Every structure is written in structure tokens, then in C-alpha cells.
């Protein structure tokens, strides 16, 4: 799964990576948690990408009754197209990140680990978003797609977030992309391109948003 992540990337790098122009500072974040507003990149009618803010916690369009709570923070890749067909076809986004967290039980405690690319480059999760038609006051909301874990993540958790390869960003955001090509993207990111290391248990608190979150524990 993916329940926490970090975004520590310079503004100009984000602009180059996602081919967008940022009109506001994003700011460094070290411990992003569900229900927060996330920066997300989507394809805008007219052929350009744009950065928007989405609440992390998706309320499906088919949910019965008045939705509440945090919504879905993750969507399984295996059922994304079947259970969330409209969003999978029309409302795909890229969620910029520099790393993410997962926990492993070690004795009586749960030890957090931080995962990032070996080359330290920023990347993007693949996500879906929805419009809350029944609650106009609710902001547009999103969830991160997850896949089976690769060999690096598997000892920590059996799921991992979908990391979209950089060269496939245009395809993922293209509203006319064939579904069969999109399904081919729904694969675990190569283990050899990631690294994982233990970090402070202070990250367990969503209120703790500090560079120490991503500092390697000795």
C-alpha cells in the first residue's frame, strides 16, 4: 500500500519533469498523509499539462449514499479498470514524489522504512481522481494505484505504489490512450532501481513533517 510519502523537489525540476509551469511554490514536504491536498499533474484540454490540488481520499462515483470519512487512499491495479472504469479511462493523474514509507514489525515495534530511487531522482505515482458531485463542497479527490510488491518492498509489505516510468508520462496522461496500453503500465517498479533504509519512528505521527523523517537511522 502507500499511506505516507515525501515530496522534496526543487520547483524548476518539477517543471521540467512534468512539462508544466508552476504559478505557486509547492514547498518541501517530508510526511504527506491521507486527507491532505496533494499536488497532481493532469492533462488539460488543449494539449497541455497542469498542476492541480486533489484531496487524498477518493470517493468513487458509484458510492451509495452520502460519502464520508477519508475515502480510498489506494486502488488496486488489478481492479482499477473494472471497478473505477470511468476514472481509469478519463481521470488519470501523476502524483509527484521523492520517496515513500512502509513499516515492518520488528519485535514489539513497527519500524518505518523510506524508499527512494537509487539515483535520487523524483518520480510520480499513478493515480485516479474523482469529482464529488453529491458534495459540491468536497474538493476533487484522488487515490494512488498500488501493484504487487517488488522483491525490495515485499519483506515490508505485499503491495507497493504504482511508479509510472518517466518515458510513459505522456501515455498515462493522454485521455485517448488505449486501455490495453494503460494496463501494461500497471507493473511493479524494478527493485534494482530503488533503495530502502530505516528512518526515525517519529514519522509515525502525521504531524511530524521535518527533514529528520527521511534521515537514515544508524
Alpha-carbon dihedral angle through residues 50, 54, 57, 61, given to the nearest 10 degrees: -70
Residue pair 36/118 in contact by the 8 Å Cβ criterion:
no
Q: Is 102 a catalytic residue?
A: yes
What's the CA gap between 1 and 102, in Å, rounded? 8
Cell numbers for 153: 518492498
Class for the domain spanning 5-214: alpha beta
CB atoms < 10 A from the CB of 83, how many?
14
Task: For 18-54, write each residue's pLDDT tens digit.
Answer: 999 888 889 999 999 999 999 999 998 777 899 999 9
- Confidence at residue 135, expressed as pLDDT on a 0 to 100 scale: 58
- Confidence at residue 58, expressed as pLDDT on a 0 to 100 scale: 94
Residue pair 213/203 in contact by the 8 Å Cβ criterion:
yes
State the SS3 of the chain: CCCCEEECCCHHHHHHHHCCCCCCCCCCEEEECCCCEEEEEEEECCCEEEEEEEEECECCCCCCCCCCCCCECEEEHHHHHHHCHHHHHHCEEEEEECEEEEEEEECCEEEEEEEEECCCCCEEEEEEEECCCCCCCCCCEEEEEEEECCCCCCCCCCEEECECCHHHHHHHHCCCCCHHHHHHHCCCCCHHHEEEEEECHHHHCCCCCCHHHHCECC
- Confidence at residue 157, expressed as pLDDT on a 0 to 100 scale: 95
- Confidence at residue 65, expressed as pLDDT on a 0 to 100 scale: 52
Counting as low any pLDDT under 50, the low residues of the chain are none
- Confidence at residue 204, expressed as pLDDT on a 0 to 100 scale: 95
- Confidence at residue 208, expressed as pLDDT on a 0 to 100 scale: 97
Catalytic residue among 10, 78, 102, 166: 102
- Confidence at residue 64, expressed as pLDDT on a 0 to 100 scale: 63
pTM: 0.94
Catalytic residue among 2, 130, 140, 213: 2
Cell numbers for 194: 530503488
- Confidence at residue 106, expressed as pLDDT on a 0 to 100 scale: 85
Amino acid at each position: 500500500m502507500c499511506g505516507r510519502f515525501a515530496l522534496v523537489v526543487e520547483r524548476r525540476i518539477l517543471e521540467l519533469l512534468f512539462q508544466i509551469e508552476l504559478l505557486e511554490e509547492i514547498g518541501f514536504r517530508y510526511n504527506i498523509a491521507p486527507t491532505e491536498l496533494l499536488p497532481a499533474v493532469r492533462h488539460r484540454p488543449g494539449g497541455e499539462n497542469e498542476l492541480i490540488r486533489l484531496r487524498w481520499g477518493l470517493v468513487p462515483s458509484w458510492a451509495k449514499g452520502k460519502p464520508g470519512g477519508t475515502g480510498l487512499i489506494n486502488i488496486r491495479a488489478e481492479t482499477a479498470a473494472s471497478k473505477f472504469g470511468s476514472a481509469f479511462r478519463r481521470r488519470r493523474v501523476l502524483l509527484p514524489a521523492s520517496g515513500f514509507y512502509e513499516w515492518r514489525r520488528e519485535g514489539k515495534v513497527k519500524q518505518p522504512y523510506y524508499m527512494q530511487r537509487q539515483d535520487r531522482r523524483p518520480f510520480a505515482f499513478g493515480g485516479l481522481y474523482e469529482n464529488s458531485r453529491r458534495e459540491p463542497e468536497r474538493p476533487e479527490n484522488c487515490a494512488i494505484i498500488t501493484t504487487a510488491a517488488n522483491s525490495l518492498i515485499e519483506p515490508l509489505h505485499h503491495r507497493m505504489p504504482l511508479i509510472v516510468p518517466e518515458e510513459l508520462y505522456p501515455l498515462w496522461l493522454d485521455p485517448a490512450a488505449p486501455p490495453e496500453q494503460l494496463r501494461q503500465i500497471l507493473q511493479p517498479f524494478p527493485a534494482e532501481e530503488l533503495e530502502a533504509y530505516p528512518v526515525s519512528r517519529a514519522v509515525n505521527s502525521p504531524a511530524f513533517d521535518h527533514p529528520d523523517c527521511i534521515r537514515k537511522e544508524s
